[in-house]
């Protein structure tokens, strides 16, 4: 269960700083951050990517509706398909540039992400990869309108059990039931105590004494 920290954050950097401060003040230990950059899904994000980054990662369904779009990318010398392809979809690296701006909106069945583009990742990055705090700082500094969700596991000081305890940071998104949802310009910090202590007197005492103003619990 996640509890929202009921504070207002003007930008991504201030929300990140608050998440770190909570762990510094209330946790005995924390893991490296696990950042997950969400796919590009708005015209603003697409324009920002074209202006600010050199390449993006594309996944496209093997669907006849998508093929003319891919043919146009080939004609513009903007796409490099992977040598090995899955059976149900196509994967490729996309060169980004102003000459592609007229292609928005992307057709149904095409997903574009910067999760293998520095500073968010490299061609060898895997979805489950952690980052260092320094790497996370670089991601947040160039985030713009992109949506990034970050998780830390931690051990809250004063709790007897730390299983599933941690912090969730939502940048340009909000937490809804079990996933983050795009919400441009909103930045939030959430904490979890773990299911073994959440509803116990011990957990209730920890929330009361933490000094945090917390909202109602939500499934996470």
CATH of the domain at 49: 3.30.70
Taking the model in full, what pTM does it have? 0.93
Range of the domain at 29: 2-38+133-209
Over residues 173-220, the pLDDT tens digits come to 998 877 889 999 999 999 999 888 888 999 999 999 999 999 998 876
Q: What angle is formed at CA 96 by the lines to CA 137 and CA 52, rounded to 5 degrees? A: 35
Taking only the tens place, the pLDDT of each residue in 14-40 is: 999 999 999 999 999 999 999 999 999
Tens digits of per-residue pLDDT, 57-93? 999 999 999 999 999 999 999 999 999 998 899 999 9
Cα–Cα nearest to 191, from 215, 174, 171, 172: 215
Answer with the one of 85, 113, 141 that is the final residue of a domain: 113
**Within this chain, do residues 92 and 158 fall inside the same structural domain, yes or no?**
no
Shared domain for 72 and 18, answered yes or no, is no
30 with 62, same domain: the answer is no
**Eight-class DSSP state of 63:** -
Cα dihedral sign, 2-125-18-147: negative
Query: What are the pLDDT digits (tens) for 89-127?
Result: 999 999 999 999 999 999 999 999 999 999 999 988 887
Alpha helices in the chain (DSSP H): 12-26, 43-52, 67-75, 133-141, 201-209
**Same-domain pairing of 85 and 60:** yes
Q: Which residues of 38-77 are buried (b: 16+ CB within 10 A; e: fewer)?
A: bbbbbeebbbbbbeebebbbbebeeeeebeebbeebeeee
Verify that 147 and 97 share a domain, yes or no.
Answer: no
Residue with token string 């990869």: 129
Cα 75-82-52 angle, rounded to 5 deg: 65
d(CA 124, CA 130): 13
């Amino acid at each position: 269960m996640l509890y929202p920290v009921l504070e207002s954050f003007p930008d991504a950097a201030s929300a990140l700083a608050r998440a770190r401060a909570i762990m510094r003040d209330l946790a005995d230990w924390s893991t490296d951050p696990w950042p997950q950059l969400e796919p590009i899904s708005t015209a603003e994000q697409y324009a920002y990517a074209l202006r600010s980054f050199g390449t993006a990662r594309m996944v496209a369904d093997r669907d006849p509706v998508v093929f003319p779009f891919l043919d146009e990318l080939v004609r513009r010398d903007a796409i490099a398909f992977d040598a090995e392809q899955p059976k149900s979809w196509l994967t490729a690296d996309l060169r980004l540039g102003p000459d592609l701006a007229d292609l928005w909106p992307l057709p149904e069945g095409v997903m574009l992400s910067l999760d293998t583009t520095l500073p968010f990742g490299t061609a060898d990055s895997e979805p489950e990869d952690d980052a260092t705090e320094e790497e996370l700082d670089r991601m947040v500094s160039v985030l713009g309108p992109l949506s990034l969700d970050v998780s830390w596991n931690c051990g809250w000081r004063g709790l007897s059990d730390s299983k599933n305890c941690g912090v969730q940071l939502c940048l340009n998104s909000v937490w809804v039931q079990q996933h983050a949802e795009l919400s441009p310009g909103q930045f939030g910090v959430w904490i979890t105590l773990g299911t073994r202590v959440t509803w116990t007197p011990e957990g209730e005492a920890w929330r009361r004494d933490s000094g945090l103003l917390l909202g109602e619990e939500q499934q996470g």
